[in-house]
Structure 1
């Protein structure tokens, strides 16, 4: 069994140093229009990150156990641990992440944990640390096909960590657009700023992990527009810096929708599986509805 290091733990000093550098850079006159850092918001994000790391010791055991169960008893092939298998795994993992991330915006069960990451109305490197306390216990199902086809679980966990590490640096306003060739292939700060936008045109776009090509291939790509400054946060913001509330408020709201009021069994089920904003009485608005309204009323060129 290959033994790979936990690169996320080793990267923590880098995270701290990078945030200090960003804090210094974004206080310069060039960045006065950015929101930069807000103390309570940044500490809430850091608290969420620490909670994620702590709970990760438990969730990692569950995830590894499930990956090994599939690998040991159900796999179709055995893919060796070598350079070319890591190349294949890079693309397979990134595709898995794209669909996990997209479903996390289109299914309320997954949104209940993913909403944590979008709850900040600021966009900086501390926002990258605002991670779920619940999602790690069930989101791994999007990666179960990897041990099924023969990738070793340790390889999968390492590549998942590499992907998470890559996504740290793109949470910043300090970097504008990068060279066109890089923007065309990879996820960048510009692409990910769009993803964190609550503007109707930016909702549920750019779900990429490392490669932006998946969004272009599956029709969820949206470039950052000079005419539409990104407004960070949620359509309806949580307006709290309490880590407990940030972690679980959406779960509370979802369960209230499921178990209260007069609804059919199908309606209750739909409150778990339908996208955020769906309502059984037809009064809800989904991101596509908001986007269509924006296109109808906006005179801006897109």
Structure 2
């Protein structure tokens, strides 16, 4: 498939900003509603800066990642023809793997060091979707799509489906969208994703789905948004800064400080890098 990833990103950009403008207009007309959704210039600047850094990182590393994918494609198990059915299968498999990437990003500190930037805002609106990390190539997001290439899906088609998945997810970063009825049983929605971004005790590490929410239902990580409990956004160890550089690297700094502190065993150092993000030798919790 002859596919220009850069052209897709260029074509989608106006959609993002039109959607943000519409949300901003509605919020300004209703100043007393959804206070944690309201835009601030500093928060928007952080989101936009992190998004630009992320895109630059993807551009710089994308050539190398595609080269790896094409090298592995030579050892593919099948020659999968380009049909509507094979594309539908690719969408399903990629979304399944996205669930596990996302779940791993909350349970492995090495990956959380990248993903934490996305959760660090105490606001939630469409611009929050831009709040990404330039370190995703280091933490290994691209590794999760390797099985698709090895199966026999062309690398550029895999990248296209990943981008379309992320495009859909832009629209679930909103507090303005109410329940969507039957659609919510199978698909990820703003209501489900609000839970994911909240750090309420019952909401942490829940609702990891990309486009589909069925994986959370199948693997026990689904939680409904409670009408009686407002979502509190941000991270448990909140970083009170709008500096995009600090937001990008603070968890990497803390992780390496913990891992290479004196007096630790080799096993403890490994856990600091690849265990649950909050793990410490002297505190109970997830291992």
Indicate the TM-score class for this superposition, using the shorter chain for normalisation.
Answer: over 0.9
Match of 1:170 among 161, 169, 172: 172
Aligned partner of residue 201 in structure 1, secondary structure:
coil
**Which residue of 1 is the match for residue 88 of structure 2?**
87
Matches within 5 A, 1:153-232: 153-179=155-181, 181-232=182-233
User: C-alpha offsets along residues 183-227 of structure 1, whole Å, 9 cap, x if unaligned?
Assistant: 101000000000000101000000000000000001100110011
Distance 1:110 1:5, change over 3 A: closer
Tell me, yes or no, if structure 1 residue 24 matches structure 2 residue 28.
no
**Which residue of 2 is the match for residue 118 of structure 1?**
119
Q: What is the total number of aligned residue pairs between the two structures?
A: 284
Aligned partner of residue 167 in structure 1, secondary structure:
helix
Give the conservation status (yes or no) of the 8 Å contact 1:34–1:173.
no
Aligned partner of residue 234 in structure 1, secondary structure:
coil
Matches within 5 A, 1:92-107: 92-107=93-108
**Which residue of 1 is the match for residue 51 of structure 2?**
49
**Which residue of 2 is the match for residue 292 of structure 1?**
none
Distance in 2 (CA, whole Å) between partners of 1:96 and 1:28 is 40
Give the conservation status (yes or no) of the 8 Å contact 1:81–1:152.
no
Distance in 1 (CA, whole Å) between partners of 2:281 and 2:108 is 15
Distance in 1 (CA, whole Å) between partners of 2:180 and 2:29 is 20
TM-score by length of 2: 0.95
Give the conservation status (yes or no) of the 8 Å contact 1:187–1:208.
yes
Distance in 2 (CA, whole Å) between partners of 1:26 and 1:176 is 15
User: C-alpha offsets along residues 122-172 of structure 1, whole Å, 9 cap, x if unaligned?
Assistant: 000110000111013421111100011111101100000000000001101
**Which residue of 2 is the match for residue 234 of structure 1?**
235
Distance in 2 (CA, whole Å) between partners of 1:18 and 1:44 is 18
**Which residue of 1 is the match for residue 3 of structure 2?**
3
Distance in 1 (CA, whole Å) between partners of 2:272 and 2:10 is 37
**Which residue of 2 is the match for residue 64 of structure 1?**
66
- 97-106 or 131-140: bigger deviation: 131-140
**Which residue of 2 is the match for residue 108 of structure 1?**
109
User: C-alpha offsets along residues 260-286 of structure 1, whole Å, 9 cap, x if unaligned?
Assistant: 1311001100111111110112x2545
Distance 1:120 1:146, change over 3 A: same
Distance in 2 (CA, whole Å) between partners of 1:86 and 1:103 is 25
Give the conservation status (yes or no) of the 8 Å contact 1:208–1:215.
yes
1:29, distance to aligned residue in structure 2 (A): 2.7
Aligned partner of residue 144 in structure 1, secondary structure:
helix
**Which residue of 2 is the match for residue 38 of structure 1?**
40
User: C-alpha offsets along residues 233-254 of structure 1, whole Å, 9 cap, x if unaligned?
Assistant: 0001111100000000000000
Distance in 2 (CA, whole Å) between partners of 1:84 and 1:33 is 41
1:31, distance to aligned residue in structure 2 (A): 5.5
User: C-alpha offsets along residues 60-85 of structure 1, whole Å, 9 cap, x if unaligned?
Assistant: 1122112111111x211111122111
Give the conservation status (yes or no) of the 8 Å contact 1:25–1:174.
no
TM-score by length of 1: 0.91
CA RMSD of aligned residues (A): 1.4
